[in-house]
A and B are shown apart, each in its own frame.
Chain A
Amino acid sequence: MAVCIAVIAKENYPLYIRSVPTQNELKFHYTVHTSLDVVEEKISAVGKSLGDQRELYLGLLYPTEDYKVYGYVTNSKVKFVIVVDSSNTSLRDNEIRSMFRKLHNSFTDVMCNPFHSPGNTIQSKAFDGIVSGMMVQTASTV
């Protein structure tokens, strides 16, 4: 399961970042932030060739020693980033995909909330719940 889940706005500022509390939160922020380099590059590369026939799931962005970083970009250029522990080999590409899809659905729900102002950070219990479900379960919840 994921160790960090982030939603990044079109303008590349964070709308939502959650990481497992046991580890250094700042490090995950940096990981997500640096992964945007690859996301940007991938978006621009696709934009040239295929137009809007774009697959939202970007796949593995880059592997670090300890983590694998996956990316997903909606049509409105909102980015989702999921960081997974490198040692976690049980997660397959399909599962990551479905995690992103779940995240996207929940994000759409948040956007549909008339009380939410798009562009502001996400504060939603339902979204929190979905994210928590995808995160590595920490000792406190077990």
Chain B
Amino acid sequence: MAGSQWELPPELCCRPMAFVALTGLDVVYNAVHRAIWDAFCANRRADRVPISFKVLPGDHEYPKCRTKRTSYEWYIPKGILKTGWMNKHLNLVPALVVLFYELDWDDPQWKEKQSECATKVEIVRTSLQGRNTKVAVVLIQKKTPLPPGEDLVASERAATLCNACDLSGKSLFVLPHTDHLVGYIIRLENAFYEHAQTYYYTEIRRVKSHKEFLNKTTHQLLFVRHQFKIAFFSELKQDTQNALKYYRTAYSLVHELRAHETNMLEIKTMAGFINYKICRLCFQHNTPLDAIAQFRKHIDLCKKKIGSAELAFEHAAWMSKQFQSFGELFDEAIKLGLTAIQTQNPGFYYQQAACYSQDRKQLSQQLCQVINTFNTKCSTVFRMIHLLLSNIDLTRILKTEMCLCLSLPQQELIIALLSNAVAQFKKYKCPRMKSHLMVQMGEEYYYAKDYTKALKLLDYVMCDYRTERWWGLLTAILTTALRCAYLMASVKDYIIYCMELLGRASTLKEEHKLRIENNLIQVLMNEVPDAEPECDASSDGAARSLWNDRMALAASNELTIEVQDYIPFIQCKAKFQCPSFHVDQPIQLQVFLRADCPHPVSFNKLAVSLSNQEYNQWCVVESAGQECMSLLPGKTKCHNFSFVAKTEDVGKKIELTGMELMLGSDSGRCVFLSWRGAGGDAASTHEALQASRSSRRWGREVEARQELDWDSLTMQHSTMIISRVPKISVQLSHRPPALNNEMYCINLTVQSQEGVVAKGVKLTAGLKPGQDANLGQTTHVSLDGSKVCDDTAPALLPDVPLGDLKPGEKLERCVYVNCVSTGSRVFLFHVAYSIDTTVEGRQIVCKCHKVEKVIIILLTVSTNTPQLQSQLQEVVLQTDECASECFCLRCPALANSNNTVATGQYLISWRSANSPLIQTVVTLPHVILESVPLYIHAELPSYGRVRESLSVRYHIENRTSLVQEVEMAVEPSDAFMFSGLKQVRLRILPGSEQQMLYNYYPLMAGYQTLPQLNISLPRCLTTNTHTLRRFLPQRIFVKPQGRQLDEASIAAA
């Protein structure tokens, strides 16, 4: 892939870990060594120290160390950083070399082995000449060591070994090869890690020490180099905070470098590297905002550093890579738990990367054109590039670049970036952004000549833009899609896109529409259409031959296109004239057609299909002979169909299931545009809504307008077939009210107004179904009025045959209704008959409904105990009249005063005119009796006046034969002041009366509660004082103070 020279090197992208070399291990042939090595490198989980181990032979040659410069005085650096530097410190120069040697403390040949070990250490040391790399020795022992201090031989021999090898005691380790190998290994590597830390620390110190020799003028590059090195060593040391700090200084120093065309590339590369490191560390430190800010700064600083204009495409590629790698870092961080948001997610960076890749593609295409047209100039460009970049090994890459740009390899990269972005935007709820990127992907596929994929993507998103009504964007997408369809000679797609581009949603200019329509006509005549503009010549040739092949194929000349979900250039709407038709009327159906294209369009057939397919034959128009039917642009054409419904369909709905319009002819190519239901398309619902809004405002104007307004045409997709209008009169006569239990007579008169004999007249009479369920049980209907009907009589009499009716004949019937509960009821009288209609020559059954409401009223009466002469005897009550009767009852003296007393029954015998006598029994309520020893009544005026004295006299009567002791108290009230006895106890002799006088003085106006008089009988506790209170008035109306008094007082003053 062409962008690969900007691929970030793996040593930059990895996490730097301390490098420790292990020597003296024979991992191939020695099982023990193999086990040790496996323990080091297998299963390195996050809790193990970050070290990268490598097994090297004992005599491995490490990279030679250059002799260190003592002065920088005459030194001019060639570049910022040497290419292999990072790799060298990650993988080649170890921080620590560990020598593994099999030696037990009690080895019989101790002396020989000791000197052999010392030699090996020496060999390692020699090859590390000049480096600060540490050396350590690990003795692999078969025996488990004794606790330190107990084995005297061991400590003595350890000391001599250290001496012989010139090692410090800290660098000698013992690894017993026993059961707990992994445990020992972990302890070992922790020790190695400490050594490595020290090594990197000294390296940092060493690099820092160079600083004082540098001067700003000649060693600008070295400032960057040293900062970068310190940062990188810090990272190796796992000191990420300091690493970040040094990378930041390095980054600012890079931008201070003097930039010119020759080193622009180097500066950008280095800036890109450092930026990558900074962003990576920021994400690692969980400060994503810092990372984003750094990246933005980086882009802003570098955006303008294009370098020479010829290399602009390289700059675009580099920018693309910057965005891509940041997107990847961001994505990586999200996988590790960072949360992104809709407006800040990796998708934006992938998108921008794709955007720069597209720029790059364009730039390189331009360059290639230049090269192609001026072939001589090509070599000049090469030479120039060669000169420019001689110090960086990029000429090779540029040469391949030049070759590659001729074969356009960029699409793959762009598509990959776009699909990454699509995945991100899908995740962060950006459906529109996603659609936009998918359009771009489709376009890239188009450039890559993968038209099938392009169409698949474009088709997928087209629908979104259509429903959102962004016509400009839809047109742009359709134009690309049409080009794809042309280039792959896909007839059906081609026709669909043409149709929509000619439609009213298209924002194309008239001239383009004309061209497209001509092409469409060509295709319909089975000829090759003209090429789409902006298709390059080579692919056009291929397309042309594809089309010719298509045309040669005789088959598949018929196409059906479902246009409902598009916005085609022919619109179709259908309506039934009415929402319902009587079965003896012809059904009227109108189909409206309208073309939006610039030329008139002709069609050969229009067919409507209905839910009952037998009617379809009546709803077809076909062109007769050579004559085509045509639609004029912008004009509405209406086709009327009419047919007679079948009698079986009475009560059913007829629905429009679809419409088909045939374009083209059998000789060329037939295209059937098909609409479901009553037509309309993806945009018509909204247009109808808009039209209804504006017609509400301009209602009168629309009516006045002669021409049919297309948008406000409403579709009527179904019609109901209903029975013929009956020509028969049904009359009911009755005299309400109906009474409870009465045999209520309803007189029915049926008179035929038909011209012929009405056969099989049937009557259904009774309670209308669907009312309260109880009504069915309390209502009885009978045809026999001579006797009161019982419970067995039904509530509804179905299908009583009445015979035939000649024209003009009259028929009468009486129906008796008996109701045992009150309330209103709805009765249904339903007359059905059949008749031969002469118009259609078919028999049609007509039905007639008549509904009558009947109200039943109950009379209210009262009664007395013995059989008395009722005041109501022989009284006749009219409707809405009410009779009431009053009797006085006297209760016999009862021993038990708590008893309730039954008051008996009230029996009424009554009849309405011409009906039998009916008896109604009313049970009278029970009453509760109470005995009261005292009788109290108050004597008070009907109203009081504010601040005017109001005298109230209470009379307390003893009605028993005993002396009653009475306690009385008056409770204070807010509304009154009063004078009189507040609390008193007195005795009342049998049959005598006591009077209490109070003067109340009202303070407030309105209905006021009087001061409560509490009476209690201390001797007779059974008596409820509440009963006594009932005798007393509770409230009195107090009038406000009159004005006259005021005037009088004013006059007095």
Q: Check if A and B associate.
A: yes
List, in ascending order, chain B residues with CB within 8 A of A119's CB: 689-690, 693
Bound Cα distance from A36 to B464, whole angstroms: 13
Question: Who on chain A is nearest to B439 by CB?
Answer: A30
Contact B468 A12, beta carbon cutoff 8 Å: yes
Asked if A65 is an interface residue, CB under 8 A from chain B, the answer is yes
Contact A11 B473, beta carbon cutoff 8 Å: no
Asked if B432 is an interface residue, CB under 8 A from chain A, the answer is yes
Contact B342 A13, beta carbon cutoff 8 Å: no
Q: Looking at the assembled complex, report how far the CB atom of A50 sits from the nearest CB atom of chain B, in whole angstroms.
A: 19
Asked if B172 is an interface residue, CB under 8 A from chain A, the answer is no
Please provide the chain B residues from 460 to 494 with a CB less than 8 Å away from any CB of chain A in the complex.
Answer: 468-470, 472-473, 476
- Contact flags (1/0) for A79-103 with B, using CB distance below 8 Å? 0000000000000000000000000
Asked if A18 is an interface residue, CB under 8 A from chain B, the answer is no
Determine the main DSSP class of A at the interface with B: mixed
Please provide the chain A residues from 5 to 45 with a CB less than 8 Å away from any CB of chain B in the complex.
Answer: 11-14, 17, 25-26, 29-30, 33-34, 36-38, 41
Contact A30 B473, beta carbon cutoff 8 Å: yes
Question: Who on chain B is nearest to A13 by CB?
Answer: B469
Q: Looking at the assembled complex, report how far the CB atom of A13 sits from the nearest CB atom of chain B, in whole angstroms.
A: 3
Contact B470 A33, beta carbon cutoff 8 Å: yes
Q: Looking at the assembled complex, report how far the CB atom of B442 sits from the nearest CB atom of chain A, in whole angstroms.
A: 13
Please provide the chain A residues from 107 to 141 with a CB less than 8 Å away from any CB of chain B in the complex.
Answer: 114, 117-120
Bound Cα distance from A117 to B342, whole angstroms: 35
| 11 new A-B contacts at CB < 8 Å, known A34-B430, A34-B432 | A11-B686, A13-B470, A26-B473, A30-B473, A34-B433, A38-B343, A62-B343, A117-B694, A118-B693, A119-B690, A120-B694
Contact B436 A117, beta carbon cutoff 8 Å: no
Asked if A4 is an interface residue, CB under 8 A from chain B, the answer is no
Question: Who on chain A is nearest to B430 by CB?
Answer: A37
List, in ascending order, chain B residues with CB within 8 A of A17's CB: 472
Please provide the chain A residues from 53 to 79 with a CB less than 8 Å away from any CB of chain B in the complex.
Answer: 61-62, 64-65
Bound Cα distance from A61 to B343, whole angstroms: 8
List, in ascending order, chain B residues with CB within 8 A of A64's CB: 348, 352
Contact A117 B697, beta carbon cutoff 8 Å: yes
Asked if B972 is an interface residue, CB under 8 A from chain A, the answer is no
Among A13, A41, A114, A117, contact of B468 (Cβ-Cβ < 8 Å): A13
- Contact flags (1/0) for B677-716 with A, using CB distance below 8 Å? 0000000001001100110010000000000000000000
Q: Looking at the assembled complex, report how far the CB atom of B247 sits from the nearest CB atom of chain A, in whole angstroms.
A: 25
Contact A29 B470, beta carbon cutoff 8 Å: yes
List, in ascending order, chain A residues with CB within 8 A of B429's CB: 37, 41
Q: Chain B: interface residue count, which band?
A: 20 to 34
List, in ascending order, chain A residues with CB within 8 A of B430's CB: 34, 37-38
Q: How many residues of A contact B (CB 8 A)?
A: 24
Q: Looking at the assembled complex, report how far the CB atom of A62 sits from the nearest CB atom of chain B, in whole angstroms.
A: 5
23 A-B residue pairs with Cβ-Cβ distance under 8 Å, sorted by A, are A11-B469, A13-B469, A14-B469, A25-B472, A26-B473, A26-B476, A29-B470, A29-B473, A33-B432, A33-B468, A33-B470, A34-B432, A34-B433, A37-B430, A37-B433, A38-B342, A38-B430, A41-B342, A62-B348, A65-B355, A117-B693, A119-B689, A120-B694
Contact A33 B690, beta carbon cutoff 8 Å: no
List, in ascending order, chain B residues with CB within 8 A of A114's CB: 697
Asked if B431 is an interface residue, CB under 8 A from chain A, the answer is yes
Known: A13-B468, A118-B693. A33 touches B473 (CB 8 A): yes
Question: Who on chain A is nearest to B429 by CB?
Answer: A41
Bound Cα distance from A57 to B334, whole angstroms: 31
Question: Who on chain A is nearest to B477 by CB?
Answer: A26
List, in ascending order, chain A residues with CB within 8 A of B476's CB: 26
List, in ascending order, chain B residues with CB within 8 A of A38's CB: 342-343, 430
List, in ascending order, chain B residues with CB within 8 A of A41's CB: 342, 429
Question: Who on chain A is nearest to B437 by CB?
Answer: A34
Contact A37 B690, beta carbon cutoff 8 Å: no
Contact A117 B690, beta carbon cutoff 8 Å: yes
Question: Who on chain A is nearest to B468 by CB?
Answer: A12
List, in ascending order, chain B residues with CB within 8 A of A11's CB: 468-469, 686
Bound Cα distance from A67 to B470, whole angstroms: 21
Closest 9 CB pairs of A and B: A13-B469, A117-B694, A37-B430, A34-B433, A62-B343, A37-B432, A34-B432, A30-B436, A34-B436
Among A12, A29, A118, contact of B472 (Cβ-Cβ < 8 Å): A29
Most chain B beta-carbon neighbours within 10 Å: one of A29, A34, A62: A34
Bound Cα distance from A41 to B686, whole angstroms: 24
Q: Looking at the assembled complex, report how far the CB atom of B405 sits from the nearest CB atom of chain A, in whole angstroms.
A: 23
Question: Who on chain B is nearest to A41 by CB?
Answer: B342
Contact B472 A36, beta carbon cutoff 8 Å: no
List, in ascending order, chain B residues with CB within 8 A of A34's CB: 430, 432-433, 436
Bound Cα distance from A65 to B686, whole angstroms: 36
Contact A36 B352, beta carbon cutoff 8 Å: no
Q: Looking at the assembled complex, report how far the CB atom of B210 sits from the nearest CB atom of chain A, in whole angstroms.
A: 40
Please provide the chain B residues from 333 to 359 with a CB less than 8 Å away from any CB of chain A in the complex.
Answer: 342-343, 348, 352, 355
List, in ascending order, chain A residues with CB within 8 A of B299's CB: 65
List, in ascending order, chain B residues with CB within 8 A of A36's CB: 432
Please provide the chain B residues from 419 to 438 with a CB less than 8 Å away from any CB of chain A in the complex.
Answer: 429-433, 436
List, in ascending order, chain B residues with CB within 8 A of A25's CB: 472
Q: Looking at the assembled complex, report how far the CB atom of A142 sits from the nearest CB atom of chain B, in whole angstroms.
A: 26
Bound Cα distance from A25 to B472, whole angstroms: 10
Question: Who on chain A is nearest to B440 by CB?
Answer: A30
List, in ascending order, chain B residues with CB within 8 A of A117's CB: 690, 693-694, 697
Question: Who on chain B is nearest to A28 by CB?
Answer: B472
Bound Cα distance from A25 to B690, whole angstroms: 27
Known: A34-B436, A62-B343, A65-B352. A14 touches B697 (CB 8 A): no
Bound Cα distance from A132 to B372, whole angstroms: 44
Q: Looking at the assembled complex, report how far the CB atom of B289 sits from the nearest CB atom of chain A, in whole angstroms.
A: 14
Q: Looking at the assembled complex, report how far the CB atom of B434 sits from the nearest CB atom of chain A, in whole angstroms.
A: 9
Q: Looking at the assembled complex, report how far the CB atom of A23 sits from the nearest CB atom of chain B, in whole angstroms.
A: 15
Bound Cα distance from A118 to B694, whole angstroms: 8
Q: Looking at the assembled complex, report how far the CB atom of A81 sits from the nearest CB atom of chain B, in whole angstroms.
A: 12
Question: Who on chain B is nearest to A65 by CB?
Answer: B352
List, in ascending order, chain A residues with CB within 8 A of B697's CB: 114, 117
Bound Cα distance from A119 to B737, whole angstroms: 60
Question: Who on chain B is nearest to A62 by CB?
Answer: B343
Q: Looking at the assembled complex, report how far the CB atom of B479 sits from the nearest CB atom of chain A, in whole angstroms.
A: 10
Known: A38-B342, A65-B352, A119-B693. A26 touches B433 (CB 8 A): no
Please provide the chain B residues from 241 to 291 with a CB less than 8 Å away from any CB of chain A in the complex.
Answer: none
List, in ascending order, chain B residues with CB within 8 A of A14's CB: 469-470, 472
List, in ascending order, chain A residues with CB within 8 A of B472's CB: 14, 17, 25-26, 29
Bound Cα distance from A61 to B344, whole angstroms: 11
Q: Looking at the assembled complex, report how far the CB atom of A65 sits from the nearest CB atom of chain B, in whole angstroms.
A: 6
List, in ascending order, chain B residues with CB within 8 A of A65's CB: 299, 352, 355
Question: Who on chain A is nearest to B433 by CB?
Answer: A34
Please provide the chain B residues from 582 to 607 with a CB less than 8 Å away from any CB of chain A in the complex.
Answer: none
List, in ascending order, chain A residues with CB within 8 A of B432's CB: 33-34, 36-37
Contact A37 B693, beta carbon cutoff 8 Å: no
- Contact flags (1/0) for B527-565 with A, using CB distance below 8 Å? 000000000000000000000000000000000000000
Bound Cα distance from A62 to B436, whole angstroms: 15
Q: Looking at the assembled complex, report how far the CB atom of A93 sits from the nearest CB atom of chain B, in whole angstroms.
A: 16
Bound Cα distance from A30 to B430, whole angstroms: 13
- Contact flags (1/0) for B637-651 with A, using CB distance below 8 Å? 000000000000000
Q: Looking at the assembled complex, report how far the CB atom of B636 sits from the nearest CB atom of chain A, in whole angstroms.
A: 20
Bound Cα distance from A34 to B352, whole angstroms: 14
Bound Cα distance from A109 to B694, whole angstroms: 18
Contact A120 B436, beta carbon cutoff 8 Å: no
Bound Cα distance from A62 to B432, whole angstroms: 14
